[in-house]
Amino acid sequence: MAGNEKLYGVLALQGDYEKHQQSLTHLGARTIFVKTLDELSRVHALVIPGGESTTMLRLLDYYGMFDILRKFGAQKPIFGTCAGAILMARTVSSPAQKSLDLMDMDVERNAYGRQVDSRIVRLDSALGDLEAVFIRAPIIRRTGPGVEVLASYLGDAVLVRQGRHLAASFHPELTGDTRVHQYFMDIVEA
Ligand code: GLN
C-alpha cells in the first residue's frame, strides 16, 4: 500500500497535529509526531499543522530546530497548513516575523478580517470540488513564478505547490476529505 515505506512526521510542538496524523493514517501512511531533532531526522516528509505560528516559532527556536527544519525542507517535502503555511513563506506580514523561506510566496497573517475570520467554503480546485475550513487564516498575497496555484478563494491563492512543498491557508485535516493529504503523499511517494 502507498505510504508503507516512507515515514511521515507531523510537527507536534503546538496546534492541531493530531488531526493531521489521523488523515495520514487513514490513507495508510506510517506516521510519528515530531517534537525533537532526533524525530525530525527519522522522517521522510513533514506536516506542519495549523495553530499559532508565533508560538511555533518560539518553540522551534527554544528547541534549536529552526535552522535544521529549514535544511530539512531544502531536501524533503513539507506540507504546511495555515500557521504551517505561514512558516513556509518567504515573507510574513501583519505583524512581520521570520519564516523558513521554503516557498516563494508572501503571506499576511489573520488577513481575512475579524468578523468573518473563520468560515467554511467550497472551492473549485485542481483536486476537484473541496470544502475548506478557514480559521484566522493568512492571505497568500504573492506567489512567485515557480509556485503552482491549485485553488483560490476570493481571488487569492489558498492551496499552492512549489516542487516538493505544499501549503494550504485552510485546514484540510478538519474535513473527512483526505484528498489534499493524498496529494501530498503522491508528491512524497513520487
Ligand atoms: N492566525 C494564526 C497565525 O497567524 C494561524 C491560524 C491557524 O493556523 N488556524 O499563526
pTM of the predicted protein model: 0.96
Question: Cis link prior to 95 (omega < 30° from 0)?
Answer: yes
Q: For the stretch 8-37, what's the b/e string if a residue is b when 16 or more beta carbons lie within 10 angstroms of its beta carbon?
A: bbbbbbbbbbebbbebbeebebebeebbee
**Residue in 20, 165, 171, 181 annotated catalytic:** 171
Q: Which cell numbers in the block locate residue 6?
A: 516512507
**Nearest atom, ligand 1, residue 53 CA:** 10
CB of 105 within 6 A of ligand 1: the answer is no
**Mean pLDDT score across all residues of the chain:** 95
Question: How far away, in angstroms, is 162 Cα from ligand 1 center?
Answer: 21
Q: What is the predicted pLDDT for the residue at 115?
A: 53
- Is a pLDDT exceeding 50 seen at residue 3? no
- Is a pLDDT exceeding 90 seen at residue 113? no
Domains and CATH numbers, the chain: 7-189 (3.40.50.880)
Rounded to whole angstroms, the Cα distance separating 38 from 52 reads: 23
Rounded to whole angstroms, the Cα distance separating 58 from 64 reads: 10
- 180: phi then psi, degrees, rounded to nearest 5: -70, -40
Q: How confident is the model at residue 117 (pLDDT cuts 50, 70, 90)?
A: confident
Q: Which cell numbers in the block locate residue 180?
A: 489534499
Q: How confident is the model at residue 95 (pLDDT cuts 50, 70, 90)?
A: very high
